[in-house]
Structures are given as C-alpha cells and as structure tokens.
Amino acid sequence: MAEQARLSASPDQRAVLRRAWPHLRTQRRGVLAALALSVAATATTVAVPAVIGAGVDRLLDGDRAGLMTAVAVLTALALLRLLLFRQSEIRLTTVGERVVRELRDLVVERLSRAPLRFLEAQPSGDLLRRATTEIADLANFVRAQLPDVLTVAGQLLLTTIVLFGYSPLLASALLVVFVPAIIVVLRLFKKAADPAFAAEAAAAGRVATTYRELVQSHEMLRTGGGTDFWRTRFLRDGERRYRAARRSQRSLSLISLARVVQGATTAVLLLLGGRLVAEGRVSVGTVVVFVLATRQLFDSAAQASNLVGQVKLTLVGLARLLDLLATTASREDPGPGPSVVVPPRGPYTGRSGPLTAARGVLDIRAVRYSYLSGREVLHGLSLRVEPGERLGLAGPTGAGKTTFAKLVTGLYTPDSGSVHYDGRDLRELSAAELRRRVVLVPQRVHLIDGSLLDNLGLVPGTPDEKRIAAAVARLDLEDWTRGLPDGLRTRVGRGAEALSAGELQLIGLVRAALVDPAVLVLDEATADLDPDTARRLEIAVDTLRADRTLIVIAHRESTIERLPRVVRLDDGMVLAEG
C-alpha cells in the first residue's frame, strides 16, 4: 500500500506569507497598489509631529508667517490623510476579498479532484474547518484587521526614519532603550504563542470532527445507548480546546510588558532631551517632535499588541490552508506545492477528442488494494468484462465488492495492477472522459437542498428540464415523478419531501442515464428496498440500452438470477463464476 498523504495538525508556520505569495499571481498589481496607498496614507500621519515641531520653533522665534504656514500644512495633511486612508481601505479590502475568493475557489477545485482515498483518510471535521471556517476567518481579517496591521507597520518604520532625520543622538538613545527590551518581549511571546495557537487550531479541528460524527451517528447512538459515551468524548474535546485557548490567552498577556518598556523609554527621552535643549544642541521643536512621534510609536506598538493575537490566528489558519493546497496539488498544477495526492490524468497526446471508444472491454488485471498496510482487501483480482455484458457480483460482507466497484470506476487507484477500459489504463483518461465511460450508482445516493430537477441535473453538461424529463420517460419512471407533490419541481432534502431509499436509487439511475456511460456499476442498488420499489428499479435498469456494460453488486438473489453471468468474490479473490 502506498503511504497516503495526511494533513498536518500543526503545519509549519515559517515564511507563511512568502509561501502564500505565489497564490496571488492574478492580484499582485492590486496588492502592490494597495500597499502604496497605505504607505502614502501612513506618511501623512507620521508627518504631523514634524509639522507641529516646526510650528513650535516658529512660535518661539516670533515668526507668525511660518506659524501660519505650519497650520496650513497641518490642515492639508489632515484632509489628505482622510482621503488616502479611505482609498487605501477600499483598495485593500477589494483586493483582499478577491484573493480570499480565489483561494476558496482553489480549495474547492483541489478537493473536487482529490482522490477519494485521500478524502477518506482525513478527519472530516478538520477538513471542513480548513475549507470553510479558516477561509472565512481569513476574509474577516482582510476586511477588519489588515488595514490596521499595515498602518501600524508603516508608522513604526516611517516614524523611526523621521526621528533619525531630526536627531540621531536622541533616536539612538530611543532605540537603545526601546528596541532590545521590546525584542525580548516579542521573543517571549513568539516562543509561547507559536505552539499555543497551533494547538488551539488543532483542538478546534478535533471538536469539529467529533461534532460532525455525533450528528451523523445520532440515531445509532440513541438507539444503541452510546449517547453518554459520546457526550463524554465531546466534553473532553471541548475541555482540551478550552485549555488550549487559555494557553493562547496567557501568551497574549506577555505583550502587556511592552507598556512597562514604553514608560521607561519616555522617561529616558525626556531627561536626555531636556539636557540637550539646555546645552543648545537641539531645539525645543525637536524635543516636541520626539515626544509626539514616540507617542505615535508607542500607540502603534500598543495597537500592534492588540492585533498580534488576531494576526497569529490568521497566520496559523493560512498555514493550515496552504498545507491543504500543497497536499492536494497535482503534477500539472502551475501553483506551488509537491505532487503527493492527485495522480495525473489525461496526458497531452497532441490530439483532441477521447482516447477510448464509446463501447469497450473493461479489463481488471491483477489488482491489489489495501486500506491499511499489511491488510489487503483485494489480492491480485483479475476479471474481464466484454462490451455490453451484464455481470452480477456477489459475495459475503467484507469480500471486497464495494472496493472493487470504486476501483473499476476510477475512484480508487490500485496499489498494484491496473484497470483498463478499451486498452487504456483509467489513470490515462481525463476526468471528463472517465465519467463518460464508467459511472457508479452507490448504495447511498446523496441529495442537495433543492428540487428533484436540481438533483437529477447533477451530471456533466447541466441538462435542461426537457432532457431530464426525456430520461425519466425512457426509464419508465413518469408515474413516480407525477406522484410527487410538484412533480420534477418537488423540493427534496432536509426539511422537504422525504424520499425512500428506493427513490434515491431511482435518482442515481436517472443521473446515470443522462451521462449515458459505456459501463454502469450498481453497488447494492436493491439492498433494503421493498419489493415494489426494487421491481421498479430493476425494470428501469432493463430499459437501458442493450449495448451498455452492466455490473450489478447485490445480495438479493432475485437480482443476481436475472443476470447471465455471476462472479462470486470471497476474501478479495474470485471464488467462482457461473
């Protein structure tokens, strides 16, 4: 068995933004323009202390005209600041939302092409959280916090440059006192926060997985008496998340040490500035600039401390999202990430059109498959199904029938051996061609919230109502659809018309008829159905085109007896044919 790729519960958080940059290809110009606007807006704020300092010097010199000029410049800066910040926020939000939308679309595309084996190997709640909640958190960060983060970063950088331009001595003193102390605080925070926030995200994923399993199995738990066990497990997972969240909050409390550093820095600055003014080495205006600018610097640092928790959560979520994208990247994807999950399909052949005939031989050659290492489900199974042949597949539970069905339809890839259609390995076919050639109707047919028409149309090509009605009529199912409250427009799904297991199978069969595949595989299609619905289903199957290859997996002997060839499996091998 090939080792199956797994998502990391706590993915690498180093260089997250650098790793995310390749995903911004289409929005890079917009991102750079938004950053330029943010820098310009921040510059107007940083310039305010310098203008006030100049005005103070003009006032002390008795220069009324210079004072009025400083006032006029200050007024212009205030108006320009308002305009630039507004435009910067609009541009940042617009570009950010586009980036988030593209990431969301990319996640959906990657997951839709990921092998079933990969999806089944991941905790469903964690996978759902990465694909929905963490993308929503990223979108919220882009809308609410990203403009503030860029403003704070710009103010810290530009204020430092301005202060060095006024007095290198005072600026150096400021840096000597402030920077080492604040670096120590930030390092302490990072050391505590990195594992704390990663553990909180992982704990949240476990809670989501447990809750999803609880919802899916609630009927079994209530009837089997397992509710108390599951409640205990859910509460235990919730307690773990609570402890992880408290650990994250404790790491955030380290940021409050920055306020002590700020107070000490201000005291040093006032003492040194007063001495330099007394010696005539700097003007009063320069000290005013330092006092106001350092106030901005400290306010920015305080704002940064308030944002750092949200930034950290966002970076952890982004790291988990990038882990998902990298793990599900295929070889032909232009984006970054190793090819570890999606096998290549449909290599370029220099020609357009299908690689296989509309009707062909299905050839299973020495196929082996394992869900767990060392525990094979299929042991070198070989089988040849001729075009138009109708084959029944029988065997006890656990014989490998459903695994066989997913292998011959390309949902699973064999560990060894191969499945060929018309002489071509299924892995060579594009997804579109594969679905035109082989289709599976599973025992459990899924519905979406919508009308029956919407559900029947979930096939390639998006068939219209006329084509769907024709397929229903061809399968002699018009009486069934007319018996529903609103016919084809009857709403089905949660909170709507409840369909029986047999009616769900009819939906799967109509979908298959709309695709018109060369090979149709029915996995336990008549299991647990009442005789009338099973007979209707079997009649619908019989009305399909005579040249279609049909493989029926069934327990019901009446279904098996209708087929001219029956293959019996046991322990993953062909036991007998008849």
With cut-offs at 50, 70 and 90, classify the pLDDT of residue 26.
confident
- Examine the pLDDT at 336 and tell me if it is beyond 50: no
- pLDDT-derived band at 332, boundaries 50, 70, 90: very low
CA distances to 101, 116, 122, 385, 403 from 413, in Å:
31, 9, 17, 19, 10
* pLDDT tens-digit series, residues 145-177: 777 777 777 777 887 787 787 778 877 877 777
The whole-number pLDDT of residue 558 equals 65
State the pLDDT confidence band at 420, using cuts at 50, 70 and 90.
Answer: very high
* DSSP three-state, residue 198: helix
pTM: 0.59
Reference 126, options 35, 42, 14, 237; nearest CA is 237
From residue 240, alpha-carbon distances to 199, 235, 314, 376 in Å are 9, 9, 21, 36
Q: Is the pLDDT score of 19 beyond 90?
A: no
The DSSP letter of residue 477 is -
pLDDT computed for residue 255 by the predictor:
66
Q: Is there a contact between 103 and 321 (Cβ–Cβ < 8 Å)?
A: yes
Q: How many beta carbons lie within 10 A of that of residue 134, not counting itself?
A: 23
What is 218-240 written as a DSSP string? HHHHHHHT-HHHHHHHHHHHHHH
Spell out the residues 6+ positions from residue 403 whose beta carbon is closer than 8 angstroms to its own.
369, 377, 378, 412, 572
* pLDDT band at residue 569 under the 50/70/90 scheme: confident
Say whether pLDDT at 208 is over 70: yes
- pLDDT reading at 48 higher than 60: yes
- SS3 of 304, please? helix
**How far are the Cα atoms of 36, 82, 187 from residue 89, in angstroms, in the given order?**
12, 11, 30
Higher pLDDT, 155 or 440: 440
Residue 225 pLDDT grade (very low, low, confident, very high; cuts 50, 70, 90): low
Length of the chain: 578
Q: What is the mean pLDDT of residues 87-107?
A: 81
Q: In percent, how much of the chain has pLDDT > 70?
A: 83
Give the pLDDT confidence score for residue 419 in this predicted structure. Answer: 92
